């Protein structure tokens, strides 16, 4: 329970950090807005032509009498849209981080410098194209894992009682874990920690991870909220990554006083 509360605390700390650093927050909104437009377009297209896709995929039902044909295909269309919505929640963070790699990388470095006792931040030393390739490769691996979990939970949803009670709760915890992995990857990749090691690190503190990612995943179900929470989520995940690695932080109270005095002197985050 203590780790659950600590994870949620890091989520709040990240939002407070970007609230004190307005320029970083503004730059951090751009990738989320781009991803939101892409996802809305895809979901609207699915809602518009979903029934046509189901009809094309179920030619065996062409000869069914009314109302069974309409009920069957309507049910499949709703299931298709629900699965697409679940996958959108699971993949939104990965796609946003991939699009906004330069933005969030710079934001995460700023957080590291802000809380590090010596004012420095780890650097990968890799060229941008190499960082993008590693991020895309690891994101694809995570999306495959998340997709398998989504299909499994979707199938378990048909189990009476448990499918309507236990399975949705498990779904949010699974979503929270994968969201946290994607967000902490921004800071951990700069420290040359590969995907296998990152997953092992997160599994060692599952309650901390769930406390951070599960409420974030729930909030992402509210339209447009994900866009505005992403910059703070990256900041909070960076702070949590430092704890997972046992890295020392400066005194928190002193940091907040310093932030208030130097907010107007911040340097803007470079664009991509």
Average pLDDT of the chain, as a whole number? 82
Q: What is the Cα–Cα distance from 128 to 155, expressed in whole angstroms?
A: 40
| 92: alpha, beta or left? (left if phi > 0; alpha if psi -120 to 50) | alpha
- Structure-token pair, residue 155: 């199938």
Nearest to 108 by CA among 219, 224, 269, 216: 269
Taking the model in full, what pTM does it have? 0.74
Burial label for 44, CB within 10 Å (0-12, 13-18, 19+), is: exposed
- What is the per-residue pLDDT for 253? 44
Q: What is the Cα–Cα distance from 18 to 229, expressed in whole angstroms?
A: 10
- What is the per-residue pLDDT for 267? 47
Return all residues near 67 (Cβ < 8 A) that are at least 6 apart.
Answer: none
- What is the per-residue pLDDT for 223? 67
DSSP string, 151-211: HHHHHHTTSTTGGGTHHHHHHHHHHHHHHHHHHHHHHHHHTT--HHHHHHHHHTTHHHHHH
Interval 65-87: pLDDT, tens = 778 877 887 888 887 787 787 77
Q: Which residues of the chain have pLDDT under 70?
A: 1, 90, 223, 251-272
């Amino acid at each position: 329970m203590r780790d659950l509360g600590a994870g949620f605390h890091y989520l709040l700390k990240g939002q407070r950090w970007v609230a004190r650093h307005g320029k970083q927050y503004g730059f951090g909104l751009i990738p989320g807005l781009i991803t939101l437009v892409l996802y809305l377009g895809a979901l609207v297209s699915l809602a518009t032509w979903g029934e046509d896709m189901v009809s094309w995929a179920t030619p065996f039902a062409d000869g069914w009498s009314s109302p069974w044909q309409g009920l069957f295909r309507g049910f499949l269309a709703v299931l298709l849209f629900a699965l697409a919505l679940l996958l959108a929640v699971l993949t939104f963070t990965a796609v946003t981080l991939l699009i906004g790699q330069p933005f969030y990388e710079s934001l995460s470095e700023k957080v590291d410098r802000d809380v590090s006792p010596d004012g420095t931040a780890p650097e990968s030393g890799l060229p941008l194209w190499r960082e993008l390739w590693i991020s895309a490769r690891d994101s694809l691996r995570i999306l495959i894992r998340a997709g398998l979990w989504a299909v499994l939970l979707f199938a378990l949803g048909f189990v009476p009682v448990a499918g309507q009670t236990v399975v949705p709760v498990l779904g949010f915890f699974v979503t929270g874990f994968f969201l946290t992995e994607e967000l902490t990857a921004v800071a951990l990749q700069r420290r040359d920690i590969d995907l296998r090691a990152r997953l092992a690190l997160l599994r060692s503190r599952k309650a901390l991870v769930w406390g951070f990612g599960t409420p974030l995943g729930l909030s992402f179900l509210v339209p447009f909220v994900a866009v505005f929470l992403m910059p703070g989520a990256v900041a909070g995940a960076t702070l949590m990554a430092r704890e997972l690695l046992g890295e020392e932080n400066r005194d928190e109270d002193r940091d907040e006083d310093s932030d208030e005095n130097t907010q107007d002197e911040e340097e803007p985050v470079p664009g991509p």
